[in-house]
Structure 1
Amino acid sequence: MMNSDEIISIYESVASITEQMLSAARNSDWENMAALESRCANHVRTLEKSEPRSALTSEMRERKFTIIQKILADDREIRNITEPWMAQLSSLINNTSTERKLSMTYGRNQAG
């Protein structure tokens, strides 16, 4: 079981990683962002498995709260960057799929 300092350290690592993810998103460095996302998920799993449910000191709770607020703010900004890109990618994929279906359907009719 982890102690309070170890828990806060992992939260700080998550905050650092989400900050790096935000930078990667701003630079359209999707490969790096995916790698960072994987690292972040590993830390979150560690917290889920190991974080004790006992009460933290008020100072530690405030620190944890501040860190979580930063993580959420970075996450929100990452989503603001990636969601339009993902929508555009989805539209492109759907258009390509539609074009392929049309080609298969009407291309056969033209060949015959």
Structure 2
Amino acid sequence: MMTIQEVVTQYEELAGLTGLMRQAAEDGNWERLVLLEQQCAAWVRRLQDNEPQALAGAARAQKADAIRRMLDDDRRIRDLTMPWMARLSSLIQNTGNERRLARAYGAV
């Protein structure tokens, strides 16, 4: 089980990691974003397995602040990735349509 200070430190480090994820998304560095997301998931699992049930006082406020920053970063990442995902989905759909047309009418 982690101490209260270790928990707060873990949340602060996790918030820093989500900041790096936001920067990767802003840079359009999707490969780095995926790698950082995998690291983030590992940190979250570690916290879930070792965090004490409740924090109080200053530790609770620090944890809440770190979570707010992570949520802000997550919102920004989604704002940046959604248009990219929509373009990718459109490309995949168009490729599927082209294949169906080619099968139906033959190659031109």
TM-score interval for Structure 1 and Structure 2 normalised by the shorter chain: over 0.9
Residue 66 (structure 1) aligns with? 65
The AA in structure 2 aligned to 1:23 is Q
TM superposition shift of 1:94:
0.7
| Superposition RMSD in Å | 1.3
TM-score by length of 2: 0.95
Task: Report the number of matched residues.
Answer: 108
TM-score by length of 1: 0.91
Residue 8 (structure 2) aligns with? 8
Q: CA offsets per residue over residues 1-55 of structure 1, 9 Å max, x none?
A: 11111111111111111101111001100010100000000000111111111x3
User: Any stretches of 5+ residues in structure 1 without a counterpart?
Assistant: none
Moved over 2 A (4+): none
TM superposition shift of 1:57:
2.9
Matches within 5 A, 1:30-109: 30-53=30-53, 55-107=54-106
Distance of 1:99 and 1:49 partners within structure 2: 48
Distance of 1:102 and 1:11 partners within structure 2: 52
Larger radius of gyration: 1
